[in-house]
Amino acid sequence: MSSIKEILETKLDGGNLEKLMAVGNSYMHAFVADAIELCDPDSVLVCTDSEEDLDTIREMALDGGGEDKLAIEGHTYHFDGYNDQARDPARTKYLVTPEMNLGASLSQVDQKEGVEEVRSILAGSMKGKTMFVAFFCLGPVDSEFSISCVQVTDSPYVVHSESILYRAGYEQFKRIGDSENFFKFMHTEGETENQVSINVDKRRIYMDLSENQVYSTNTQYAGNTVGLKKLALRLAIQKAAQEGWLAEHMFIMGAHGPNKRVSYFAGAFPSACGKTSTSMISGQTIVGDDIAYLRKKEGQVRIANVEQGIFGIIRDVNPTDDPEINKALTVPGEVIFGNVLITDELRPMWLGMGEEMKAGTNHSGKWTAGKKDDAGNEITGSHKNARYTVRISSLDNRDPLADAAEGVPLSGIFYGGRDSDTCVPVEQAFDWTEGIILRGASIESETTAAVLGQEGVRKFDIMSNMAFVSIPLGKYIQNNLDFADGLEKVPSIFSVNYFLKNKEGKYLNTPLDKKVWLLWAELRVNGDVEAIKTPSGYIPLYEDLAKLFKDNLGHEYTQAEYVKQFTIRIPKLLAKVDRIEAIYKEKVADAPAVMYEMFDRQRKRLTDAKDKHGDNISPFDLIAK
């Protein structure tokens, strides 16, 4: 049987072998050697943190490696296959050992069975190809947030994407010495046609929790192949649970208050509920838009962005609503566009950009308006899940502390969802426990007709992290509850709802109003404003909102608007408590007992208020006389 070094020497030339061995980690060497034996590439290219190595990757990506040039310097585009445009939940599974029990809600398969299956698909998959070995760091480098990662893939597009999205990790990997404490990612495109993976039936995205390893094959969509994103989040949630910190599906941004004060907030929102737009509110600064690690240090919570870039949905990005992002996507610089429309002038176009689509080329081939697929479905010029990949450093509103090794101090957390008839636009939880249980662990979001063909169906999404939780849900909630233990300054928790409507179905707020809700929360966490205590939490006083609307949006905010938006809708809130409680009783056998205590307390507060004030309570009726 060949030794690890002998296996490496069969595929790595002198320079690449030297690069690999300079990272003195025997466990990483064994992982790479195993990938070589399994996938059988013709050669292996090791990527360091150098710009020279990155230039090689960029060139190979453009030379049949998944990308093509656009007219603007530094811009490229990538197409995924017609059936490879999003995450694939049906083929995304946890590999678990017999002693692991993730609960019935999480998709899982026996580790031995799953490893055997996916490795049989990976066998020989890189024949005739180059294997890339790349190193990245989750979280700021050389910090307590750092998690070292090694990516093996046959796709230069994947490595190029990761070089934009994640901090360079070759030198960071050297710091961990001969430790097993790193994440491993093995990806192959599989058989391709016109640079597109074609064997959809053999697509697999498996996460081996006991080995901190991800397998991904027969896919090119970045959500399935860029393993350091949501696949690594699943590994990190388990690691965090074991070590006493949190890995969350959250943005981080700086809210700018009076006298140049900056208060940092995180936020968890399901898709299409305002997560990215909140992280990019005008006049504020962004740290990260998607994934965060939270740790306790010296009595407070420090939070750091796991990434250095954005893999964002491009639909509806336009100069008016998203000036910073739109600018970064329309000037020279390093950007990868995914599954947009490409005009004959090599210009990208996407849905909601404010212009009519021209004829061009997209993931389906040549495209003109009205084109349909084989099943008779309309093919839009740009896919609805089309993406852009860009560094946050390309944005004018990047926060100065975006890469701080110590993270930033966390003042508050927002939990949001699409809710047309129940919750007020912004409300502060009574305390951490109430916030985690009745805000984060009770997130619901209404679907839209464009997605499911039926509007208003409420979908439960715990902490906006349901798709990525890799431990039993009850344990996940308990970990969040316990995180406040020992803190001298506990972050405040808020719920926000941008989608409240009147009886005629008209929104009661504009998209710009979220700036006011944010700035009120900033004042609140710093003790600058009082609030009204309601049966469900603390809401703003009218005069404070009126000033914020006038000063920041030039809007004369009326008492009539305030009452419509901040009326406490008792029957709707009681129905929500009943719905959420029923979900936990049915699906989460290990839910902490305190959850049901909180449900009972909330129900009693609401019932008592109803008995005193009626079904719908004006905020003015709750002001202490």
User: What amino acid positions are annotated as catalytic residues?
Assistant: 273
Q: What is the 3-state secondary structure (H, E, C) of 20-80?
A: HHCCCCHHHHHHHHHHHHHHCCCEEEEECCCHHHHHHHHHHHHCCCCCEECCCCCEEEECC
Rounded distance between C-alpha atoms, residue 266 and residue 524, angstroms: 15
Tokens standing for residue 444: 């619901």
Contacts of 623 (CB under 8 A, 6+ apart): 532, 541
Rounded distance between C-alpha atoms, residue 257 and residue 528, angstroms: 10
Rounded distance between C-alpha atoms, residue 446 and residue 160, angstroms: 36
- Residue 496 identity: V
Rounded distance between C-alpha atoms, residue 564 and residue 502, angstroms: 8
Cβ burial of 115 (10 Å; 0-12, 13-18, 19+) is middle
Q: Taking a C-beta distance cutoff of 8 angstroms, is the pair 87, 79 a contact?
A: no
483: nearest Cα among 227, 296, 290:
296
Strand 408-416 and strand 492-496: pairing? parallel
Three-class SS state of 624: coil
Q: Taking a C-beta distance cutoff of 8 angstroms, is the pair 442, 580 a contact?
A: yes
Rounded distance between C-alpha atoms, residue 281 and residue 258, angstroms: 17
- Residue 580 identity: I
The CA dihedral of 284, 289, 291, 293, to the nearest 10 degrees, is: -20
Rounded distance between C-alpha atoms, residue 302 and residue 289, angstroms: 16
Q: Taking a C-beta distance cutoff of 8 angstroms, is the pair 151, 231 a contact?
A: no
568: nearest Cα among 495, 531, 529, 620:
620
Tokens standing for residue 577: 């408590």
Q: Taking a C-beta distance cutoff of 8 angstroms, is the pair 428, 521 a contact?
A: yes
Helix (H), strand (E) at residue 476: helix 473-482
Rounded distance between C-alpha atoms, residue 37 and residue 10, angstroms: 10
Give Cα 47 distance to the centre of its chain: 26
Rounded distance between C-alpha atoms, residue 324 and residue 330, angstroms: 10
Q: How many other CB atoms sit within 10 Å of the CB of residue 352? A: 15
Three-class SS state of 267: strand
318: nearest Cα among 603, 511, 68:
511
Give Cα 593 distance to the centre of its chain: 29
Q: Taking a C-beta distance cutoff of 8 angstroms, is the pair 287, 400 a contact?
A: no
